[in-house]
Structure 1
């Protein structure tokens, strides 16, 4: 069956876009190059419709920037590089899940290990040796964590001794717990930032984590749907034996 010819307006109606947006997509490489009539009008085909549907599906999961890069790379004829962009996006999402899990684990550890008595003692300010004994670590570990920017206990006036308040002890507990779980400093920083952003409130952080988990799940499903559309489009492109799908020029419906 010959490829059905589509005018610019026909393609725009597929997803409710303007004809100008379709032209922009072609110019940006999001769509393969269109065929042209002898008078210079664009002529699209089914391959363009599938490309448009694939791009719109990718946008929902990968965002417009990554989706456009993927489609441009496909139309440049480098499918492996396009798939590498997909892999990179999934790896980024996995990193977000890892950080989310680390934050949840830190919160659970905090609930198990931080009795109220600790907060009472820390309220007056604990010296580094006291915190080290409380956590069961060396003072050198606390200094390394401080040098890495994970904790920042204030200094006592005059003596310049470190004084750990309740929030400092909490942060040290979280670092200690995650380090025991083999988390890297780079993975621990966003956990602490998340807790501080919520004003130190465990309830607020738990609520934020639950919302973040739902968001990640929705993104994963959207990425899977987008990847499915991309796979279908690549099959069509492969069957056609071209990455452009251009329609030969000649008389026919026209829309610049």
Structure 2
């Protein structure tokens, strides 16, 4: 398992390098600049700002400098938030988004799995049709749990467990639920990263100072360092969530763990 995790970290570094490179050059190719807006600055002031932030240097020099900064987890200063760095904005915004996101994930996961199991146990009955009224993540998890649970409940080893006289709760919880959770775990990885980094719409509507709100404002203000910094931060979080999902796979189903161990040998 440790060897597998080590390989995944190497792949994560390569993936992040590609993401950082693509984000940097896409921002460079975007029309306008961080100091261009409705009110155009005098040329001498804009030139001084470009020199201060190193934007007057050749593109390759800026790129190498940015790579070094990202490697040290330094996303540079914000062009629009005076006296604040991108790291400051992430440090202040992410805890807010994390708190809201963690609550949403716990609610979606707890009720989604519960409703999905109930819908599978009462397949094609009124209990099955009631999940349609749930919110999107909860409803999706419920449908995912339902489909997976139905498939597991129809498998041979569940029939064998029932034939041995095991109670329905025992068959459901001890034998069926564990395997039925694998698709849910797969979905939880990217969903968790997306929710934890902040819902752009929710934070913008309610004026919540989370990471999503900072990202939306940075696009409006053409604050390129914030856009790139939040993108890289989101990518790191997404890759970590995917790695955690892979590790959980091995804990939930030992057969997956063994198969990966053999491949890594």
TM > 0.5: no
Which structure is larger by alpha-carbon Rg, 1 or 2? 1
Larger RCO, structure (CA 8 Å, separation 6 or more): 1
TM-score by length of 2: 0.30
